[in-house]
């Protein structure tokens, strides 16, 4: 794959899927009626959001998602290396210790900050791989972002939570990180890292792919997160891409939108809608947010339009 030359080209690739190496054969969507029935129930129960692009939430949107939904969110991958090897991981192989912004590799933190500034980011996710494998660089990046953007920028650290300690959490907070996004599907839905993080950060959000057969475990996790005082559970539609399709174990994928590099996995969306319904019914404080592949494609298009407008 050739390297994108500019921020807008990097975003264009992200949005339009020019980097696709392998296509999944589309299969008919068999869950249309079930999905429509669930959507009717959700609307009757007072769901919020934009059902036309399957962006739905029960109470409030996570702080970092607000700029993202306006096309003002961005992301810096600190490293593709990880201490886990989840079957659903969409990071491309080989998993190199390389920094990148929307697929464009960056040499150092200074270049990364300049690129994020050129994209007009209002919120930045520091992700990976597992970014805490490069803890010192994460701290240096957070400080550099704070120096450049001031307090207005939202900085979320994406982590599987394995390497968190109270000391690490305090140093992240002191460096200017606003909140944490934890993928607890990586550890089998153990909420312990979220409980630890809530001792230091107010904004601890759990963000997981909705694996259809794990719906019961996700509901148990939801109840635990409510007890702990977590504000948001973010569910992504599980998707197959060139990077993970060989490990999808016969899961059926369908192309939701032409031009995307990924395809939603059959049953994931319906399971997410069922979790939303349960949250509306039984959760008093925690908000569940569903971010579909359609939403992610839409976000990427908005970000690209914004980057183009900035030249």
Q: Which of 86, 118, 139, 228 binds ligand SF4 (CB under 6 A)?
A: 86
- Residue 106: how many CA atoms within 13 Å on its side-chain side? 23
Q: How far is the CB of 191 from ligand SF4 (least distance, A)?
A: 16
- Least CB distance to ligand SF4 at residue 193 (A): 12
Tell how strand 263-265 and strand 287-291 pair up. unpaired
- What is the Cα–Cα distance from 50 to 44, expressed in whole angstroms? 14
Half-sphere exposure of residue 100: CA atoms within 13 angstroms, side-chain side: 21
> Is there binding between residue 100 and ligand SF4 (CB under 6 A)?
no
- Would you say 62 or 209 has its CB closer to ligand SF4? 209
What distances in angstroms separate CA 213 from CA 14, 86, 238, 287, one per listed residue?
29, 15, 11, 22
Contacts 24+ apart (CB under 8 A), 276-280: 276/42, 276/47, 276/56, 276/58, 276/235, 277/38, 277/41, 277/42, 277/45, 278/219, 278/222, 279/58, 279/222, 279/233, 280/42, 280/45, 280/46, 280/47, 280/58
> Which residues, 212 to 271, sit near ligand SF4 by CB under 6 A?
none
Q: How far is CA 71 from the centre of its chain?
A: 14
Binding mask 22-51 for ligand SF4 (x = CB under 6 A): ------------------------------
Q: Interaction with ligand SF4 in 188-207: which residues (CB under 6 A)? A: none
Among 24, 42, 89, 230, binds ligand SF4 (CB under 6 A): 89
Which of 102/122 has CB closer to ligand SF4? 102
Q: Which of 123, 160, 287, 301 binds ligand SF4 (CB under 6 A)?
A: 160
Binding to ligand SF4 by residue 130, rule CB under 6 A? yes
Q: How far is the CB of 162 from ligand SF4 (least distance, A)?
A: 8
Query: Judged by CB under 6 A, which stretch of 19-27, 124-132, 220-228, 233-241 contacts ligand SF4?
Result: 124-132
Binding site for ligand SF4 (CB under 6 A): 82, 84-86, 89, 91, 128-130, 160, 183, 186
């Amino acid at each position: 794959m050739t390297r994108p030359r500019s921020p807008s080209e990097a975003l264009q690739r992200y949005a339009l899927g020019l980097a696709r190496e392998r296509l999944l054969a589309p299969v008919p969507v068999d869950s249309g009626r079930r999905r429509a029935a669930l959507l009717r129930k959700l609307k009757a129960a007072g769901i919020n959001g934009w059902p036309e692009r399957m962006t739905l939430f029960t109470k409030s949107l996570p702080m970092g998602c607000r700029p993202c939904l306006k096309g003002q969110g961005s992301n810096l991958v600190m490293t593709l290396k990880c201490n886990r090897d989840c079957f659903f991981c969409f990071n491309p192989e080989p998993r190199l210790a390389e920094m990148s912004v929307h697929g464009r590799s960056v040499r150092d933190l200074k270049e990364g900050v300049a690129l994020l500034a050129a994209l007009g980011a209002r919120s930045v996710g520091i992700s990976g791989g597992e970014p805490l494998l490069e803890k010192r660089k994460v701290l240096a990046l957070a400080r550099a972002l704070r120096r450049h953007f001031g307090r207005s920028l939202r900085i979320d650290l994406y982590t599987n939570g394995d390497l968190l300690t109270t000391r690490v959490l305090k140093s992240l907070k002191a460096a200017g990180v606003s909140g944490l996004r934890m993928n607890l599907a990586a550890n089998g839905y153990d909420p312990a890292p979220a409980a630890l993080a809530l001792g230091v950060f107010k904004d601890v959000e759990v963000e997981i792919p909705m694996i259809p057969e794990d719906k019961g475990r996700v509901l148990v996790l939801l109840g635990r997160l409510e007890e702990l005082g977590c504000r948001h559970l973010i569910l992504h539609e599980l998707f197959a891409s060139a990077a993970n399709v060989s490990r999808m174990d016969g899961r059926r994928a369908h192309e939701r939108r032409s031009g995307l590099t990924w395809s939603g996995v059959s049953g994931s969306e319906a399971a997410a809608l069922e979790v939303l319904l349960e949250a509306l019914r039984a959760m008093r404080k925690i908000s569940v947010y569903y971010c579909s592949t359609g939403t992610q494609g839409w976000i990427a298009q908005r970000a690209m339009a914004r980057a183009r407008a900035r030249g």
